[in-house]
Structure 1
Amino acid sequence: MSASTTGALRIGAWDANPEPPEPPGALTCLTDAEPGRGLALVRACADLWGWQPPARDGNRGKYVWSELTAA
């Protein structure tokens, strides 16, 4: 986590899967399906979110982040 000078809080997580994150459709969010449920929550609560692959040492996976601005 980090806070920027703009008053936003950035929260991120890394995982080993190099595929881009796929937000679930609205119907998936209403079922008991687990894949993508966390990203659906991030999309619903965050002001901004994104992802990026690791940039060095040939690491695999991805870093997914979200920002929450102060009210």
Structure 2
Amino acid sequence: MPEIKDLSATDASRGFKDMLDLVDQGTLVRITRGKKKRYMLTTAPEATGADINALVDRWHHEATGSMMAP
């Protein structure tokens, strides 16, 4: 299980490079914003062009309800 590091949104934005270095080292970074919002950063596999196009299509559909690509 990876180490988990908690950062406030303010600390994460001030030390953005340091935060990304932690993620690259395998640390799971959990960012808190207020009491309820939490974001987790971890490394992701390299995306292909097809992966990116599929994400854009999905986001467009969710935002507009249209199945047509932008």
Fold in common (TM above 0.5):
no
> Higher helix fraction: Structure 1 or Structure 2?
2
Structure whose residues are more often strand by fraction: 1
The TM-score with structure 1 as length reference comes to 0.29
